[in-house]
Each structure stands twice: as structure tokens, then as C-alpha cells.
Amino acid sequence: MKTIRLHGLHDLRLHDEPQPIPTHGQRLLKVTSVGICGSDLHWFAEEGIGDARLSRPLVLGHEFAAITESGERVAVEPAIPCGKCEYCQRGHPNLCPSVIFAGHGTQDGALREYMAWDENCLFPIPDSLSNADGSMLEPLGVALHTVDLGHLKPGMTVGVFGCGTIGLLIIQLARLSGVSNIIATDILQHRVDAAKALGAQHAILTGKGNPKDHTDGIEMVLAASGKRGVDVAFEAAGALEAVGLAVASVIPGGKVILAGIPSDDITSFPASTARRKGLTIKLVRRMKHTYPRSIDLVSKGLVDVRSLVTHRFPLEQSAQAFEVAHQRTGIKVVIEI
């Protein structure tokens, strides 16, 4: 079968490998669609993510849909928690220290024609959803978990700092939560335009000044909030500038939810500002129990994932697909198999 492996920086290679044989509790899957995530790009451009480093040629890909041997179309949860530890037992499988995660560390992911995966991680999708839609359910799950952490209420003002895939999904979920004012920022014009189209009342282009200025855009954000600030700030850029802007714009007693993954594994913000405001700061660890909700939201047309897919490539052109995603010329790049 055709398999794509990452050998080093920007070094993806096509291999011909044996088809995997499922073990007990696994199903053989024919992979149909794989989305390129920001975390995949960290592996591609940095040979790792956080303290996890590339130790052998790795198959990336954790946003994916597939077909089982019986012909059932499924979305696939990429995380296999142990189910036995304290965190799993308390309902937080995303915090499991023994979790197996597709396309991370030494665990091969979905950029291949076939893979064997835990049967408990398969979620049937309706015919109304395309294969690409199925692969988009994973980032939607992350956005759902992110919004869950914000505890949104009708009438709130919300800031979304970073309008890639996760940020644009957060905007849609915030709108569904009854938020009355969504203020979105990004440094790329096409993403600002997408934020406006998907429900942000205010979409602001930032980053035109000093990139080290963590308050770049703050006056525009505050003006859009009626000078009050935002009740909840969602950072989805993985950039210190976005974190700083989130902290600067949120009201005293508000929440800052950090979903972005920084390239240098360091997140910082003005401590005096955060302390003086008495902020609650939460970090997003993947997702938990979100696939049924994601499927329901997309199948009912309440969340638009399809328009976020701006580029499609066949498996053989994975290297080109990753370069396009790395350049951020679109939004979501999908590899179809």
C-alpha cells in the first residue's frame, strides 16, 4: 500500500508498505480523507511538537475519515486512551498520560491507504457528509472542547484571536451559543474575510505594525466591544502576539482560553495585566466526547465545515499539500486517498 512518511524537515517520502493486519479490538480501515492540522505542520517544519521529537520516519495525519471492511463510512477518533487511569475514570480521557495518538511520537497516523485502529474510535457518518466533511469532525471536536471551556452565555462578547480552521469553527460555535458580539482578528486578510463571512460581527486585520507589540490591534478590538472588552478570549493562533492581545482585551474576571500551539513551546503574557484583572486562563488539550455532537452539528447544517476546505491533493502529492498548508495561502488543506 502507498504510505507517506516524514523523514526530516520538509522531507515527506512515498513508500510502498505491507497492508496492516488488525489485532484484537481493531478494525481494518481504508482511509479516504486526511486533513492537515497545525500540529502536523509543527512536525513537518520543526521535526516535532513540544517535547515530542521525530525519532524515526513517521506517518502523520490524525484528522481523517475512512471506510471499514464492511463498507461503513466512519469518522475516526485519533486518540486511544487507556480507560483505566485516574483521568480516564474521571471523564477526562484527553488527559490520559498513556494515550495513543495517531501521527504523534512513534505512533503512525493516517497518511496511508490502509490502517488498523481501535473499533471503539469509529463513528458512522451519514451519506450527507462527504469524506472531507468526515475528516473535519476532528478539528470541530477540538473547537467544541475549546468553547466548552469558555462556558459561553447568551449576550456575551467574545474575542477570537487567530482565524485558521479552529478559530473559524469557534466563531460558528460561539454564534450558536447566543453570543451577541464576536470580534475576530488575524494577520491574513483572507482569514479575516472568512471570519466575517462565518458570523463575526467584527473582523480585524492585525500584524501590520511591530510584530513584537502584543497590543497590536487592541484599540480596534476595544472599540468593537464598545470600549468594554470581551468576556471570553479564545486564542487560536499559537503566537505570542495573539496571546498578548487576548489578555489585553478581556475584561477583569474574564477567561482566556489558549488553543494555539507555539512553535518554540513557550507561551507568555504580561503577568501584571493578567494578575490585576484576576483572569482565569485555561489551556486546551485536544478534545473529549465530541464526535457525536460534531456529527450532529454538521449533518443538521448548523456548522459549516465544507467551505473551510480550500485545497485538495491526492496522497502522492502530500509533499506539495504540506507546503501549501505551511504557506497558509488557504485555510484547510485535505489529502484525499
Q: What is the pLDDT of residues 208-254, one digit of tens each?
A: 644 455 567 899 999 999 999 999 999 999 999 999 999 999 999 99
Rounded CA-CA distance 169/290 in Å is: 14
Joined together, the cell numbers standing for residue 173 give 460555535
Q: Could you report the per-residue pLDDT of 45-80, keeping only the tens digit for each?
A: 999 999 999 999 999 999 999 999 999 999 999 999
H/E element holding 319?
helix 318-327
Per-residue pLDDT, 77: 98
For 217-259, give the secondary structure using H, E and C: CHHHHHHHCCCCCEEEEEECCCCHHHHHHHHHHEEEEEEEEEC
Q: What is the mean pLDDT of residues 179-197?
A: 97
Per-residue pLDDT, 213: 53
Q: What is the mean pLDDT of residues 101-115?
A: 98
- CATH assignment at residue 160: 3.40.50.720
Tell me the percentage of the chain whose pLDDT exceeds 70. Answer: 98
Domain contains 300: no
Q: Are residues 276 and 163 in the same domain?
A: yes
> Residue 314 pairs with which residues in a beta bridge?
336
What contacts 148, CB < 8 A, 6 or more positions away?
A: none
Domain that holds residue 44: 2-136+305-336
- CATH assignment at residue 84: 3.90.180.10
Are 58 and 43 in contact by the 8 Å Cβ rule? The answer is: yes
Q: What is the mean pLDDT of residues 124-144?
A: 98
Q: Are residues 107 and 154 in the same domain?
A: no
77-81, 87-91, 264-268, 277-281: least confident range:
264-268
Domain contains 208: yes
Q: What is the DSSP letter of 36?
A: P
pLDDT at 308 > cutoff 60:
yes
Q: What is the mean pLDDT of residues 178-182?
A: 98
Domain contains 296: no
How far apart, in Å, are the Cα atoms of 146 and each of 234, 235, 245, 259? 8, 10, 18, 7
Domain contains 207: yes
Rounded CA-CA distance 120/112 in Å is: 21
Q: Are residues 30 and 92 in the same domain?
A: yes
Dihedral, 267, 269, 275, 281 alpha carbons, nearest 10:
-40
Per-residue pLDDT, 214: 53
Q: Are residues 159 and 174 in the same domain?
A: yes
Are 117 and 29 in contact by the 8 Å Cβ rule? The answer is: yes
Please state the φ and ψ torsions of residue 181, each to the nearest 5 degrees.
-145, 115
Measured distance between the N- and C-terminal CA atoms of the chain, rounded to whole angstroms: 11
Q: Are residues 130 and 149 in the same domain?
A: no
Q: Are residues 115 and 148 in the same domain?
A: no
Per-residue pLDDT, 211: 46
Q: Are residues 9 and 77 in the same domain?
A: yes
Q: Are residues 199 and 120 in the same domain?
A: no
Per-residue pLDDT, 207: 82
Rounded CA-CA distance 331/191 in Å is: 7
Question: Angle at CA 133, nearest 5°, toward 128 and 136?
Answer: 150
Burial class (CB in 10 A: 0-12, 13-18, 19+), 196: middle
Is the dihedral angle over the CA atoms 131, 133, 138, 141 positive or is it negative?
Answer: negative
Domain contains 299: no
Domain contains 157: yes
Number of domains in the chain: 2
Q: Are residues 251 and 165 in the same domain?
A: yes
Rounded CA-CA distance 64/35 in Å is: 6
Domain contains 329: yes
Q: Are residues 172 and 123 in the same domain?
A: no
pLDDT at 168 > cutoff 80:
yes
Are 81 and 93 in contact by the 8 Å Cβ rule? The answer is: yes
Q: Are residues 271 and 323 in the same domain?
A: no
The mean predicted confidence, pLDDT, of the chain is 96
Domain contains 294: no
Burial class (CB in 10 A: 0-12, 13-18, 19+), 191: buried
Q: Are residues 276 and 145 in the same domain?
A: yes
